[in-house]
């Protein structure tokens, strides 16, 4: 009898906790865009850029024709987004294209040192891009992006969502023009081809939500044998 009372008490406690968990998981932030609004914030496709935007840690090659002392074979963009050049000094690079940087260097050298300088700027090494995946995934962490990585690709890098993941509550955080943006996606719809798979960008944060009900049920099954639950239920 004592074992039965213990089991019944545990079941009542568990069922009450389930209801609370159900209420909490059904609560959604109305300010987070979903559906079509989410894809307007985090699109599934990226318009082909006409030029490459330089980023911190990129390595640039800067050549001033006929002036080897003014040329730099490997100018790394620092964390603040600048490169250091002889005579031209500190030049803003991050967020700009190679032609834009070339024009600024040409202007500086023309004003101070050379008549009609011929400058060429090219990206010698592109810095790796990363996405961070957190929440209910098997291996959370930061992962290097390769090509046009999508949301499903990012989740695969984290070895997929865990069994307790809430697949309709997968959130992507992204910084756009200095403003932090957020959108929520339903991975089940994406996997089923109902919704497009959004493209992941450098610096994105993906957070996979948790299903409290699944977690509590699995915890219950793990502790039930300690109370001889299956034997009691079979009688």
Read off the CATH number of the domain in which 89 is found.
Answer: 3.30.1950.10
Query: Is 113 found in the same domain as 201?
Result: no
Please tell me the distance from the alpha carbon of residue 73 to that of residue 125, in angstroms, as a whole number. Answer: 11
Query: Is 32 found in the same domain as 141?
Result: yes
Give residue 228's pLDDT.
Answer: 38
- Identify the DSSP state of 49: P
Please tell me the distance from the alpha carbon of residue 77 to that of residue 58, in angstroms, as a whole number. Answer: 5
Please tell me the distance from the alpha carbon of residue 163 to that of residue 137, in angstroms, as a whole number. Answer: 9
**Which two structure tokens, joined as six digits, stand for 99?**
């032609």
Please tell me the distance from the alpha carbon of residue 53 to that of residue 97, in angstroms, as a whole number. Answer: 5
Query: Is 121 found in the same domain as 134?
Result: no
- For residue 143, is pLDDT > 80? yes
> CB–CB of 185/170 below 8 Å?
yes
Give residue 153's pLDDT.
Answer: 95
Query: Is 133 found in the same domain as 77?
Result: no
Please tell me the distance from the alpha carbon of residue 195 to that of residue 74, in angstroms, as a whole number. Answer: 43
**Which two structure tokens, joined as six digits, stand for 223?**
């502790």
42 pLDDT tier (thresholds 50, 70, 90): confident
In a domain, 52, yes or no: no
Please tell me the distance from the alpha carbon of residue 195 to that of residue 192, in angstroms, as a whole number. Answer: 8
Query: Is 164 found in the same domain as 121?
Result: no
Query: Is 166 found in the same domain as 100?
Result: no
Query: Is 178 found in the same domain as 203?
Result: yes
Number of structural domains (the chain) is 2
> CB–CB of 133/152 below 8 Å?
no
**Which two structure tokens, joined as six digits, stand for 102?**
């070339």
The CA-based dihedral angle spanning residues 217, 223, 226, 228, taken in that order and rounded to the nearest 10 degrees: 0
In a domain, 65, yes or no: yes
Query: Is 148 found in the same domain as 37?
Result: yes
In a domain, 54, yes or no: no
> CB–CB of 75/60 below 8 Å?
yes
- For residue 159, is pLDDT > 80? yes
5 pLDDT tier (thresholds 50, 70, 90): very low
In a domain, 53, yes or no: no
| Radius of gyration (C-alpha) of the chain in whole angstroms | 27
Expressed as residue numbers, the domain containing 102 is 59-125
């Amino acid at each position: 009898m004592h074992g039965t009372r213990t089991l019944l008490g545990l079941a009542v406690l568990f069922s009450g906790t389930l209801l609370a968990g159900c209420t909490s998981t059904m609560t959604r932030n109305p300010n987070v865009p979903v559906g079509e609004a989410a894809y307007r914030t985090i699109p599934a496709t990226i318009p082909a850029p006409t030029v490459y935007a330089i980023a911190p840690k990129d390595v640039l090659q800067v050549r001033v024709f006929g002036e080897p002392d003014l040329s730099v074979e490997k100018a790394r963009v620092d964390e603040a987004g600048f490169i250091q050049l002889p005579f031209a000094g500190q030049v803003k690079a991050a967020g700009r294209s190679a032609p834009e940087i070339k024009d600024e260097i040409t202007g500086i050298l023309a004003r101070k040192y050379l008549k009609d300088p011929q400058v060429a700027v090219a990206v010698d090494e592109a810095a790796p891009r990363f996405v961070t995946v957190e929440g209910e995934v098997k291996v959370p962490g930061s992962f290097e992006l390769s090509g046009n990585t999508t949301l499903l690709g990012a989740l695969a890098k984290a070895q997929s969502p865990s069994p307790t993941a809430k697949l309709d509550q997968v959130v992507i955080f992204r910084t756009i023009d200095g403003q932090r943006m957020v959108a929520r996606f339903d991975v089940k719809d994406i996997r089923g081809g109902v919704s497009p798979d959004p493209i992941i960008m450098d610096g994105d944060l993906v957070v996979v939500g948790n299903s409290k009900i699944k977690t509590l049920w699995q915890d219950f099954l793990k502790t039930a044998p300690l109370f001889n639950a299956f034997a009691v239920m079979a009688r």
